[in-house]
Structure 1
Amino acid sequence: MHNRFPLFLLLAGAFLLFCSPAVKAQEIRANVSVVAQQIQGVDKKIFTTLQNSIRDFLNNRHWANDAFTPAERIECNFLLNITGTSGNDSYKASLTIQATRPVYNASYVTSLLNIQDPNVVFRYVEFQQLEFSDTRVVGNDPLNSNLTAILAYYVNIILGLDYDSFSPRGGDVYFKKALNIVNNAPDGKEISGWKAFEGNRNRYWLQDNLLNAKFLRFHDVMYQYHRQGLDLMYDDVIKGRAAILNCLNMLYAIHQDIPNSMLMQTFFLSKGEELLKIFSRATPQEKSRAAELLSQMDVPNAQKYQQMK
């Protein structure tokens, strides 16, 4: 049983431990979709096989150090949209990843990650085994290895964010695993997204921000936002909302030091709509302060936040 869960879930997990034979359930419960509407001249069965292989790869592998019960598995969606092929069984695609976390005493789930990666290239032959090793990220063919390296990278990002939301700095070990994948990533002329110089919004920068000391307070935000904010709201909405407003103040301090970072952008892609709802019933003073902070940190949605006032 892992320590990311508070007491109420640990007790439920203990019950399951004695009642269920499936105590060795994996950590991820991923819904996987592979879409290839733009691809012509390729047997579409290949993409069905690929979809099943990715689902098995994500769901049937142990990713974390702790034992998860079935009830604790992290719900996520992986949508691979294949946009082109250069022949020789190689494909270009974008990958959309979403992951959620349950909120205490509620049927509501909160978004942990909602991100699109446009830089996915890989080679796939029908029925080939999808393989990945932490110690040998790249196999004999970088294009063969790139898809599983990308999938493993995002699983570790999801695990890190999830653990962060349950215990202070709980996700560090998984962010370091993501760093290891970045440092040992497949390399080739068609492969991109792993290097700092390839852009300011890619896999390199997300893990860099998550492990950079300048973003230390972000991990405090992840814990306080979820455990002292959302999880508290069932018992005390006012106190929970105040904790979340305090998190916005902490994020603003980061924003002032490092404006337009990928990590902040990623956070608001996940939380923007939720924050609008949280502060829609706040006091005028809280609404005004939240709108002021959010419109500066999440500029693309500034108009929505201003309408809260």
Structure 2
Amino acid sequence: MRIKFLILFVLSAFCASSQELKAVVSINSAQVTNVNPQIFKNLEKQIFDFLNNTKFSDKVVKQNEKVNCSFFFIVNKFEANNFEVTLQVNSTRPVFNSTFTTPILNINDKDVSFKYIEFENLIYDQNSFTSNLVSVLSFYANIVLASDADTFSDKGGTEYLESALNISNVAQSSGFSGWVQTGKKTTRYNLISDLMSNTFDAYRETLYQYHINGLDKMADDLKTGKLEIINSIETLLKLHKVRPNSLLARTFFDAKTDEIVNIFTGGPMLDVSKVKDNLATISPLNSSKWNKIR
């Protein structure tokens, strides 16, 4: 009996302290020819193991609390163990009292390069630079976790953002692109700088309002949930007035545009004229989709 109790205790402790991510990893190497495809398969497995077996914080995470995400790599160039890739990072979370999941992140990083030698160890250490592959994976893993946490509590992801900032700062002297300030808007440097800036607090507030006060209440009260989502868009409008066409506003709509259209194209009927105007003001590039809202 005592042995059974000890076994159950150990198993429960293991489950309670499990890693935070439930990641899917895919590598598309169709553009690269005359290369043994096994290297890409091995890389895919090592990235999968790294993301799913690494603890990025000291938080206790249950199995059902892991964050669903995907890391999709397109290999644009490969030569002498040097990779140039496009990385697509997506994450979702469940909607309360429903069978639906909602997209949180949809980030496309076209400026990722790294050197990879088959079977080299990928070890997480936010305080040192071991390889650009590890730094990029660790950076986005923390961004995924921060964004997810921000949807459950007001600025709940700050701890993860601080880790991402530290990773970015350490990587700046590596010489790899994406870590330093340039004329480009969509860099890892700009992403974490904006997320940590008080100027862009409205983005993180919107994540919280949109999900906790909006989506998570729609199962019980559809109309109230929709009204709260309208309020969250007004919060994002405050950011637009201070920083038009900001990276974070685009980051929000890269994930949410289609969902917002779907939410407001069904009942119950609301006056959507104001929210359509707000959406068109913040994200004019999606005007054709906003016009579908009736």
Shift of 1:100: 0.3
The residue number in structure 2 matching 1:165 is: 151
The residue number in structure 2 matching 1:201 is: 186
1:134 counterpart = 2:134: no
1:275 counterpart = 2:260: yes
Change (3 A) 1:124 1:281: same
Contact 1:292–1:306 (Cα < 8 Å) also in 2 = no
Change (3 A) 1:301 1:23: same
SS at match of 2:105: strand
For structure 1, the 5+ residue unaligned runs are: 1-16, 140-144
- CA RMSD, aligned part only? 1.9
SS at match of 1:76: strand
Distance in 1, Cα, partners of 2:117 & 2:186: 30
The one of 53, 56, 64 aligned to 2:49: 56
Shift of 1:20: 8.3
The residue number in structure 1 matching 2:137 is: 151
SS at match of 1:307: coil
Shift of 1:41: 2.5
The amino acid of 1:97's aligned partner reads: V
The amino acid of 1:211's aligned partner reads: M
Change (3 A) 1:285 1:21: closer
The one of 39, 53, 60 aligned to 1:46: 39
Contact 2:77–2:83 (Cα < 8 Å) also in 1 = yes
What TM-score results when the alignment is normalised by the length of structure 2? 0.92
Change (3 A) 1:180 1:232: same
1:247 counterpart = 2:232: yes
The one of 184, 192, 196 aligned to 2:170: 184
Contact 1:279–1:290 (Cα < 8 Å) also in 2 = no
1:232 counterpart = 2:217: yes
The residue number in structure 1 matching 2:249 is: 264
Distance in 1, Cα, partners of 2:11 & 2:218: 31
Change (3 A) 1:284 1:61: same
The amino acid of 1:208's aligned partner reads: S
Change (3 A) 1:184 1:301: same
Shift of 1:80: 1.0
The residue number in structure 1 matching 2:108 is: 116
The one of 26, 29, 32 aligned to 1:36: 29
Contact 1:146–1:186 (Cα < 8 Å) also in 2 = no
The residue number in structure 2 matching 1:7 is: none
What TM-score results when the alignment is normalised by the length of structure 1? 0.88
The residue number in structure 1 matching 2:4 is: none
Contact 1:192–1:198 (Cα < 8 Å) also in 2 = no
SS at match of 2:104: strand
The amino acid of 2:80's aligned partner reads: N
Shift of 1:205: 1.1
Contact 1:34–1:80 (Cα < 8 Å) also in 2 = yes
Shift of 1:275: 0.5
The amino acid of 2:241's aligned partner reads: Q
Cα shift readout 1:10-49 (whole Å, capped 9, x = no counterpart): xxxxxxx997852222110000011111112321101100
Cα shift readout 1:222-256 (whole Å, capped 9, x = no counterpart): 11111111111111111111111001111111101
Contact 2:17–2:59 (Cα < 8 Å) also in 1 = no
Contact 2:127–2:167 (Cα < 8 Å) also in 1 = no
Change (3 A) 1:282 1:194: farther
Contact 1:101–1:109 (Cα < 8 Å) also in 2 = yes
1:101 counterpart = 2:93: yes
Distance in 1, Cα, partners of 2:114 & 2:207: 33
The residue number in structure 2 matching 1:75 is: 68
Using the aligned pairs only, state the percent identity.
33
The residue number in structure 2 matching 1:13 is: none
SS at match of 2:272: helix
Cα shift readout 1:110-141 (whole Å, capped 9, x = no counterpart): 111011100111111111111231111x13xx
Contact 1:280–1:287 (Cα < 8 Å) also in 2 = no
SS at match of 2:166: helix
For structure 2, the 5+ residue unaligned runs are: 1-9
Change (3 A) 1:197 1:19: closer
Between Structure 1 and Structure 2, how many residues are aligned?
Answer: 286
